[in-house]
Amino acid sequence: MKVVFIGDIVGQVGRDTVKRLLPWLKDRYQPHIVIANGENAAGGRGINAAITRELFAAGVQGITMGNHTWDNREIFDFIDDEARMIRPANLPPGTPGRGYTIIKSGSRELGIVNLIGRTFLPPSDCPFRKADEIIDELRRKTKCILVDFHAEATSEKIAMGWHLDGRASVVLGTHTHVQTNDDRILPEGTAYVTDAGMTGPRDGVLGMERESVIRKFITGMPARFQVAETKWHLNGLFVDIDEATGKAVSVRTIRVDEDSWIPA
Ligand SMILES: [Fe+2]
Ligand SMILES: [Fe+2]
């Protein structure tokens, strides 16, 4: 099973990038399933119903979230009914939405789990224990499982990769918006990357308009950041999973920008 994961989609530039590149990504990687992180899809802060529909219409089949899940209040209107939207699983019991699901594409099934880290992020339940619980449950239904671990600290993400090696097909990090150069298959067959990177404005600061971020660093004064309007880049991960074993057979980061992209 070939899977393409698109890193944090930031604002309209990010959404337009996904729409522009999906036909090319499909042609190049022949994915059976496309998953994207959408926590910054609406102006950098959360997601709404129209944008969710827009991403599904573009060919995304599942959307994972993160610390910005609740930034756009519209999500409360539809998250309980949208089975393809996955928010961090280790939020307190009773939180709206779901933290894992199975995405079906033809005869193929991919379990998707979203977890959030506890280092340099607001308090949450233990992502490691929650991962154990969910993966036990999912593995009764499918061996193919992708975990989006939305976390700040590289150490926490690397630890999760090792913790789930051989039990998840893919453990990929999101949240930092900066792609790391450590994609590999761990010894027991889990494809791993510390961060898949972001999709959206290339020349801002993590997707936001750079002047206001620089000003905030210099002055220390509060500021409200807007999504940058610059050239785009798309960052993500391609993984090929052996469906018989659930182990990854190949993994490679995807990194394209406006200057390097040559349309098919
Ligand atoms: Fe993000
Ligand atoms: Fe985040």
CA dist 59 and 30 (Å) reads 13
**Residue where the block lists tokens 């975990």:** 147
Check which CATH number belongs to the domain holding 56 and give it. Answer: 3.60.21.10
Tell me: the pLDDT tens digits for 25-49?
999 999 999 999 999 999 999 999 9
Q: Which stretches of the chain drop beneath a pLDDT of 70?
A: 264
Domain residues for the domain of 99 are: 2-257
- Ligand 2 geometric centre to CA of 115 (Å): 11
Residue 264 inside a domain? The answer is no
- Ligand 1 geometric centre to CA of 141 (Å): 30
- Ligand 1 geometric centre to CA of 144 (Å): 25
Ligand nearest to the CA of 177: 1
Residue 50 inside a domain? The answer is yes
Please name every residue paired with 37 in a beta bridge, in sequence order, or none if there are none.
Answer: 64
Q: Would you state the structure tokens that stand for residue 253, as one six-digit string?
A: 């980061």
Environment class of 120 (CB within 10 Å of its CB; exposed 0-12, middle 13-18, buried 19+) = exposed
Residue 73 inside a domain? The answer is yes
pLDDT at 263: 84
- Ligand 2 geometric centre to CA of 200 (Å): 14
Tell me: the pLDDT tens digits for 168-195?
999 999 999 999 999 999 999 999 999 9
Can you spell out the DSSP letters for 213-245?
HHHHHHH-------B--S-EEEEEEEEEE-TTT
User: What residues are annotated to the active site?
Assistant: 68
CA dist 43 and 142 (Å) reads 35
Contacts for 21-30 with beta carbons within 8 Å, 24 or more apart?
21/234, 21/256, 21/261, 22/58, 22/59, 22/60, 23/264, 24/261, 24/263, 24/264, 25/254, 26/59, 27/264, 28/264, 29/2, 29/4, 29/238, 29/254, 30/2
Residue 262 inside a domain? The answer is no
pLDDT at 204: 98
Count structural domains, the chain. Answer: 1
